[in-house]
Structure 1
Amino acid sequence: MSATVPAPVRGRLAGVATMVGSGLSNQTGAAIGSLAFPVLGPVGVVAVRQYVAALVLLAVGRPRLRAFTWRQWWPVLLLAVVFGTMNLSLYSAIDRIGLGLAVTLEFLGPLTVALAATRRRLDLCLALIAVAGVVTLMRPRPSADYVGMGLGLLAAACWASYILLNRTVGRRIPGAQGAAAAAGVSALLFLPVGVVLALRQPPGAEAVGYAVAAGVLSSAVPYLADLFTLRHVPARAFGLFMSVNPVLAAVVGWIGLGQHLGWAEWAGIGGIVAANTLSVARVKRR
């Protein structure tokens, strides 16, 4: 007699598989998008990504824009600016220092938000571990690109702001309407970039295809996958898995783009991932 898997367990397994697929899709999309940098540059790739994100979120969220009050609009506008700046600084960092290091530095954003919400001795230890990881990644050496690292830290600051603004938007606007409106405004802000690129030197179909793939894989697929995942996987497990994204980024960069990292870089990534994982576990448990 064959054993049957209970429906909740099947749902949990499907949620875990979706989490893995979402993480790999996000980092693979960023890697594919970097292939269009020589033609479109990071700004052009981010512009296309914002267009794709807006189309998906507007279709899902269906915001009633005319019903928004100014109290609802101002955090949406700030969220749109932060959303665009976060992606632009991240992709610019990827262009200079590689996928793994850029994504690792960006993850300092949610780590800072998590540690700021707690006041315990272990949290200080986690902060020191993260600082040690950053010092390892940013140590002085001839090949160090401090502009790229600074862009990665800017992406981290934007992600922290994105989290805080999303909380405000979520409290003031129901459902996904606020996030959809912010994505639409951000796409409008990048519209001149697309016009200038198209008029100055129309990009080839290959470069545009890479950029569109980045938008689909790094925006549309993760967003829709996360909606499914959070129905079947506890928020704590979801947050813990998200902390592993820098490792996925480093592996995808290594395999897909040939971006090799030394032992010191892997140690720095490991320290930041460990601090993220433990901080998320503590916050979710409380």
Structure 2
Amino acid sequence: MAKYLGAAGLTPIESVWVRMAGAGLILLLVLAVARPRALRIPRDQLGFFAAYAVIAVAGVQALFFLAITRLPVGVTLLIEYTAPVLVVLWVRFVRRVRLSRAAYLGALVAVVGLGVVVEVWQGLRLDALGLGLALLAAACCAGYFLMSDNLRVDPLGLVAWGMIGAAVVLVPVAQPWGIRWAAFGESATVAGYTLPVAGAAACLILVATVVAYVAGVTAVRRLSAAVGATVATLEVISAALLAWVLLDEHLGVAQLAGGAVVLLGALLAQTATAARQAVPVSTDEPVLTGVQGR
């Protein structure tokens, strides 16, 4: 859907701003009526909310939207979903928590798979800037996982204020007053498919943001962080297939195989990291709690 906004003349940052502002306003209105207590921000959590808005929302979304202007959607998501590997490294070397061998094996497998995706044996075939942006998106996504660990605030309120905060942070860059708003009354064509721009924007805001985030946090609370993160990796497969059908973005055999390896490694690393909480630690090292999925 973001590519339809781009075809209508919006820049990636403008598309991100429309998505964040639209989703934030909708969530605020819904919560103000149905669950007003969720919108209360504890004074001691103001810094956390600000960091969440900048890193976990604005950083992830803006960098991803910039990356897909230079890389296929499926490849960009594959790279972004190396985030669990970064979480493993952070937990081990920054938090100094012991992890099982499976976590390190998963990280190694994911890195090998990423090498297959970019076909390193033939030199870097993917756009270098796009690859860098996707890796930065992965780093911000890892920040999302880490900041979502052991939430002490209402998750729906956090998402709502995170969206609004991200929109505010991006105002100087996106400059919404310069957006060609007339484009939303037009249609755009991508890979032979034509859609109303307003319809694409509505889908991006309501389905890909509001429904996705609300369903995600609800699912993780009813299942577990490990299971939620496992299911979330299906986003890569579904997005690659949709991009293949709707955007004519074909993936090569090596990229498909490498993508499967990346997902396997990320899943192994994430599951092993989350499962670490059930393993008693006999030393004075801290015990890792579950890492919340995206």
TM-score, normalised relative to structure 2:
0.75
Residues 35 and 210, structure 1, Cα contact 8 Å, conserved in 2: yes
Residues 47 and 190, structure 1, Cα contact 8 Å, conserved in 2: yes
Q: Cα deviation per residue 1:252-277 (whole Å; 9 max; x = unaligned)?
A: 11111110011111121111100122
Residues in 1 aligned to 2:36 and 2:70: alpha-carbon distance in whole angstroms: 37
Residue 288 of structure 2: aligned partner? none
Higher helix share: 1
- How far the C-alpha of 1:106 sits from its partner, in A, is 0.7
Q: Indicate which of 84, 88, 99 corresponds to 1:119.
A: 99
Q: Which moved more, 1:37-46 or 1:110-119?
A: 110-119
Q: Indicate which of 11, 17, 34 corresponds to 2:3.
A: 34
User: SS at the partner of 1:77?
Assistant: helix
- The reply to whether residue 133 of structure 1 matches residue 113 of structure 2 is yes
- The reply to whether residue 81 of structure 1 matches residue 63 of structure 2 is no
Residues in 1 aligned to 2:215 and 2:128: alpha-carbon distance in whole angstroms: 34
Given residue 239 of structure 1, which amino acid in structure 2 is its aligned partner? A
Q: 1:236 to 1:120 in 2, by over 3 A?
A: closer
CA RMSD, 1 decimal: 2.6
Identity in percent: 25
Given residue 33 of structure 1, which amino acid in structure 2 is its aligned partner? A
Q: Which moved more, 1:112-121 or 1:275-284?
A: 112-121
Q: Cα deviation per residue 1:199-219 (whole Å; 9 max; x = unaligned)?
A: xx7424233432232122211
Q: Cα deviation per residue 1:216-245 (whole Å; 9 max; x = unaligned)?
A: 221112123235534654544332211222
Residue 158 of structure 1: aligned partner? 140
Residues in 2 aligned to 1:57 and 1:179: alpha-carbon distance in whole angstroms: 8
Residues in 1 aligned to 2:217 and 2:204: alpha-carbon distance in whole angstroms: 19
TM-score, normalised relative to structure 1:
0.77
Residues in 1 aligned to 2:200 and 2:161: alpha-carbon distance in whole angstroms: 25
Residues 115 and 279, structure 1, Cα contact 8 Å, conserved in 2: no
Residues in 2 aligned to 1:209 and 1:190: alpha-carbon distance in whole angstroms: 23
Residues 105 and 152, structure 1, Cα contact 8 Å, conserved in 2: yes
Residue 185 of structure 1: aligned partner? 165
- The reply to whether residue 215 of structure 1 matches residue 184 of structure 2 is no
- How far the C-alpha of 1:177 sits from its partner, in A, is 2.6
Residue 10 of structure 1: aligned partner? none
Q: 1:184 to 1:123 in 2, by over 3 A?
A: same
Residues in 2 aligned to 1:144 and 1:175: alpha-carbon distance in whole angstroms: 36
Residues in 2 aligned to 1:163 and 1:63: alpha-carbon distance in whole angstroms: 24
Q: 1:202 to 1:234 in 2, by over 3 A?
A: same
Residues in 2 aligned to 1:231 and 1:202: alpha-carbon distance in whole angstroms: 41
Residue 50 of structure 1: aligned partner? 20
Q: 1:284 to 1:33 in 2, by over 3 A?
A: same
- Residue ranges of structure 1 left out of the alignment (5+ in a row): 1-31
Residues in 2 aligned to 1:48 and 1:120: alpha-carbon distance in whole angstroms: 42
Residues in 1 aligned to 2:176 and 2:243: alpha-carbon distance in whole angstroms: 27
Residues in 2 aligned to 1:109 and 1:270: alpha-carbon distance in whole angstroms: 15
Which structure has the higher relative contact order (CA within 8 Å, separation 6+)?
1
Q: Which moved more, 1:97-106 or 1:213-222?
A: 213-222
Q: Which moved more, 1:58-67 or 1:136-145?
A: 58-67
Given residue 129 of structure 1, which amino acid in structure 2 is its aligned partner? V
Q: 1:275 to 1:64 in 2, by over 3 A?
A: closer
Given residue 195 of structure 1, which amino acid in structure 2 is its aligned partner? W
Given residue 75 of structure 1, which amino acid in structure 2 is its aligned partner? F
Residues 97 and 145, structure 1, Cα contact 8 Å, conserved in 2: yes
Residues in 2 aligned to 1:63 and 1:193: alpha-carbon distance in whole angstroms: 32
Q: 1:134 to 1:67 in 2, by over 3 A?
A: closer
Residues 33 and 213, structure 1, Cα contact 8 Å, conserved in 2: no
Residues 50 and 162, structure 2, Cα contact 8 Å, conserved in 1: yes
| Total equivalences in the alignment | 250
- The reply to whether residue 246 of structure 1 matches residue 236 of structure 2 is yes
Q: 1:226 to 1:120 in 2, by over 3 A?
A: closer
Residues in 1 aligned to 2:40 and 2:232: alpha-carbon distance in whole angstroms: 35
